């Protein structure tokens, strides 16, 4: 038996039924209870719910859909790794701004004109750090020629950004493959070891978080492929997620 729907949204229907129960509570309790049991039966038929990493959302799904498997979408996990890389880039950008301001001040004291260092591709150091933002969201095989040159300069000057990007890209590959969760857990354990070797800031925090949600996040590896086949809109979203850098900060 399928749960009754209003505009294809079961939760909206649940709210509508609940309001009717509150209005008609006097004298019609039996009838309303029967309607409520139908809704509850429909909610128990839900097998899987995709959600983000918010604890409040996890509690809501646990209460509303007690029989469903809770799956954390891999997009939210990968976004955190991207945020760590961007955090490091922004840190170096502020350092470059402070350095440039100090050089300008010194040149002014000496009565000279300050000329910032221009790199091979025509960028100054500040411009390099600003314009590298989008390429750090993408896999290296999707870089344009100008992005490849810019990435090479960025990684030569800031090797810690390269290490952070490699870790983020490795996590992206783990979640992008259509593999069973036990195999993915093995790859993720190796990824945890790389974090300890590189000793980059913020990645240990991400490691602790992933250990806490590892089972619910890796379930998406097993369920994502049939979901993409059944829902073309999800497929379009996953195909274009590498270009969502503008929305991740």
Q: Closest Cα to residue 77, out of 195, 218, 194, 190?
A: 218
**Angle, CA of 141, 143 and 147, to the nearest 5°:** 145
Residue 155: which domain range? 74-247
- Asked whether residue 61 is assigned to any structural domain, the reply reads no
- 104 and 18 both lie in a single domain: no
pLDDT beyond 70 at 222: no
- Asked whether residue 163 is assigned to any structural domain, the reply reads yes
Phi, psi for residue 177 in degrees, rounded to 5: -80, 145
- Asked whether residue 1 is assigned to any structural domain, the reply reads no
- 97 and 33 both lie in a single domain: no
- 24 and 89 both lie in a single domain: no
Contact 96/117 with Cβ under 8 angstroms?
no
Contact 215/170 with Cβ under 8 angstroms?
no
- 37 and 123 both lie in a single domain: no
Number of domains in the chain: 2
Reduced DSSP (H G I as helix, E B as strand, rest coil) percent helix, strand, coil of the chain, to 5: 70, 5, 25
Q: What is the pLDDT of residues 139-187, one digit of tens each?
A: 999 999 999 999 999 999 999 999 999 999 888 888 777 777 778 788 8
pLDDT of residue 219: 55
- 81 and 27 both lie in a single domain: no
- 29 and 80 both lie in a single domain: no
- Asked whether residue 192 is assigned to any structural domain, the reply reads yes
- 38 and 78 both lie in a single domain: no
- Asked whether residue 56 is assigned to any structural domain, the reply reads no
Reported pTM: 0.66
- Asked whether residue 69 is assigned to any structural domain, the reply reads no
Phi, psi for residue 111 in degrees, rounded to 5: 75, 25
Rounded to an integer, what distance in angstroms lies between the CA atom of residue 21 and that of residue 15?
Answer: 10
Phi, psi for residue 69 in degrees, rounded to 5: -80, 130
Contact 119/153 with Cβ under 8 angstroms?
yes
Contact 146/121 with Cβ under 8 angstroms?
yes
- Asked whether residue 62 is assigned to any structural domain, the reply reads no
Q: What is the pLDDT of residues 103-120, one digit of tens each?
A: 999 988 888 888 888 999
Q: Which residue has the higher pLDDT, 180 or 238?
A: 180
- Asked whether residue 53 is assigned to any structural domain, the reply reads no
């Amino acid at each position: 038996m399928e749960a009754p729907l209003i505009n294809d949204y079961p939760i909206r229907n649940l709210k509508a039924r609940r309001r009717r129960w509150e209005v008609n509570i006097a004298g019609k309790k039996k009838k309303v209870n029967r309607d409520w049991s139908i809704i509850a039966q429909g909610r128990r038929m839900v097998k899987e719910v995709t959600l983000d990493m918010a604890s409040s959302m996890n509690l809501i799904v646990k209460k509303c859909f007690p029989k469903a498997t809770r799956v954390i979408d891999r997009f939210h996990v990968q976004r955190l790794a991207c945020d760590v890389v961007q955090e490091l880039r922004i840190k170096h950008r502020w350092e470059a701004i402070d350095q440039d301001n100090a050089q300008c001040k010194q040149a002014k004291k000496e009565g000279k004109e300050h000329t910032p260092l221009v790199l091979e591709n025509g960028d100054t150091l500040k411009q390099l750090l600003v314009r590298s933002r989008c390429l750090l969201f993408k896999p290296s095989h999707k870089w344009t020629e100008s992005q490849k040159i810019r990435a090479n300069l960025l990684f030569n000057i800031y090797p810690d950004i390269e290490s952070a990007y490699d870790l983020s890209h490795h996590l992206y590959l783990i979640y992008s493959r259509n593999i069973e969760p036990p195999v993915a857990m093995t790859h993720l354990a190796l990824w945890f070891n790389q974090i300890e070797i590189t000793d980059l800031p913020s990645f240990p925090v991400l490691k602790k978080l992933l250990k806490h949600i590892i089972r619910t996040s890796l379930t998406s590896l097993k369920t994502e492929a049939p979901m993409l086949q059944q829902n073309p809109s999800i497929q379009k979203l996953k195909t274009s997620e590498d270009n969502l850098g503008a929305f991740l900060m």
